[in-house]
Amino acid sequence: MEKIGKYLLKEYIASGGMAEIYKGSLEGPHGFVKEVVIKAIHPHLLKDERYIKLFLREAKLWAKLNHSSIVQVYEFFEEKNRYYLVMEYVRGTDLLNVIKRSQSKGRPIGIPRTIKIFEYVLSALGYAHNFRDDSENIYGIVHRDISPQNILISVNGDVKITDFGIAKASLSTGLTTQGAIIGKIDYMSPEQALGKDVDLRTDIFSTGVVLWETLTGNKLFDGKNDIELLENVRRCEIIGPSSINPEIDERLERIIMKALSYDPEFRYKSAVEFSNELKSYVKDYPHGVEEENIGDFMKELFPEYVKDYTHRTEVLEEESEDKRSAKNKKMVIVPVILLLAVISVLAVLLYPRSYEEKGFSNDTVWYDITAVDRVFASGDSAGADISEEDVMGIEPAVTDAEKEPVHEESARDKKALKNPVLKQPDEAASKTAEIRKGRLSLNAIPWADVYIGKKKIGTTPVFDYELKSGSVEVTFRNEDLNVVRKKILVIEPGKETKYTEDLTK
């Protein structure tokens, strides 16, 4: 498991145009574990000063924001000439997955719950749009990339927006060229798709697009390719959502369509105004309180997250309890073992002749210790000979001479039953087993699905994959580039083999 700074990289999550996303953890004493998300700029972009400035700008801008519905930034650092942004880990998934899972399970999100989700989204956007610095100067942060993928929902019902990579602030230095189109095309406002200058009303439009999609389960804008999709967004021909979802009444449709106005002047003037319209509507909408509950709905849709969380919580809670229990057991067991050891030594030192006189061989050493305890517990005075009746319950170990002429394994089994002894691990065999294996760490530019033979082992980067030493065929597959590369790598026993494949060459 690779360590970056003070964090352990545990799992690859995704890769974007500028950075890779990992799940990591910060671990401390007494079972302390804090899960985080680590965003790392792509290694092949480190030579481009423009991308480095964008990444630094995102870190500085995002770190200023402190709102319950905005993913928090914990730390930004540089290590080995690569930049890392450490953020809050939301145990759950994004809104796009929620929409897909609700459709596959035939369990609609519903109007009240959907509006509740967007109240959180608009609250976060309102905070960003009106953010002030320490001198009370308004930054006017415009997200410019609101989409279902950037709205995260936890299993407890928390809703948070993320990814301020292309956010625009009025007081920041522009790093994008005038007329450049950045963001996800299918969630852009018409003015953003045309490369025009944008303000907070572009976020209002994008939020309206996501709200339309959540309530209908369909994409608002689509196309055979990006060029056709871009043209559809620019034309902004929108059908009423009630034509797809008949539960949407005329009042709610008017609210949604106002947010989706082609001309920014006819949209809501702020996120707060948009949110207030939705709150007023749902207040009059006939429904029960449970229909607004996001947490229970998420647990119903994604039980795997609940099980994982419960298991991890129990492990952390039991860890300290186990240590206390082990300590208490040790306090009891150690004196008992010492007492039994003293009794055994006394039995040998004080009564050596008795063993020989009763016909026991000097080679007969191991006895049922509980039987010895019974003899000494009988009250006989120290130094008295042990009678024949006393040793009736003491069964001697099987010696080589006494073995029955049976199969060797059967004889060993019988001896083990009569004289259970903890077998020490064979160090030589253990080392031999370890040395036959090696570890493989792989990466690809920009990314690739990795196969060992026909088995897929993950998507790059892959860390510390354990396998037998020797030659192995590794296949790198990137469907976006339509590239498949095969490499023969040699895995050295007891060592880590590292390899990076550049699929752009």
**Taking a C-beta distance cutoff of 8 angstroms, is the pair 139, 132 a contact?**
yes
Does the pLDDT of residue 178 top 50, yes or no? no
* Catalytic annotation, residues: 145
**Least confident piece of the model among 175-184, 192-201, 280-289, 309-318:** 309-318
In this prediction, residue 320 carries a pLDDT of 46
Q: Does residue 184 register a pLDDT over 70?
A: yes
* R_g over Cα of the chain: 35
Residue 235 has phi, psi (to 5 degrees) of -75, -30
Task: Specify the CATH number of the domain 428-502.
Answer: 2.60.40
Percent of the chain with pLDDT over 90: 40
| Separation of alpha carbons 52 and 43, rounded Å | 11
CATH numeric code, 92-301 = 1.10.510.10
What is the chain's mean pLDDT, rounded?
A: 78
Distances (CA, A) of 133 to 60, 107, 136: 12, 43, 5
Q: How does DSSP assign 250-279, residue by residue?
A: HHHHHHHHHHT-SSGGGS-SSHHHHHHHHH
Q: In the chain, what are the domain boundaries?
A: 1-89, 92-301, 320-418, 428-502
Q: Which long-range contacts (CB under 8 A, 24 or more apart) does 343-351 make?
A: 343/369, 343/372, 343/373, 343/376, 344/369, 344/372, 346/376, 346/382, 347/372, 347/376, 350/382, 350/383, 351/385, 351/386
Instruction: Name the strands in the sheet holding 449-452, side by side, starting at the edge strand that comes first in the sequence.
Output: 455-459, 449-452, 470-478, 483-491
Tell me the pLDDT tens digit for each residue of 53-103. Answer: 888 888 888 888 889 999 999 998 988 888 899 999 999 999 999 999 999
- Confidence check: pLDDT of 274 > 50: yes
14 pLDDT band, cuts 50/70/90, is confident
**CA contacts within 13 A on the Cβ side of 498:** 3
- Cβ atoms of residues 14 and 40 within 8 Å: no
pLDDT of 144 over the 70 cut: yes
- pLDDT mean over 17-23: 84
**Identical fold, 1-89 and 92-301:** no
**Which two tokens mark 178?**
């005038």
Closest by CA position to 343, among listed 313, 375, 320: 375
38 has a pLDDT exceeding 80: yes
Q: Beta 73-79 vs 33-41: how paired, if at all?
A: unpaired
CATH superfamily of 1-89: Phosphorylase Kinase; domain 1 (3.30.200.20)
pLDDT at 68: 93
CA distance 200 to 141: 8
> Where is pLDDT greater, at 458 or 343?
458
Q: Please identify which residue in the block is written with the tokens 């510390």.
A: 464
pLDDT digits (tens, 9 = 90+) for 451-505: 998 888 888 778 778 888 888 899 998 887 788 999 999 988 888 888 888 887 7
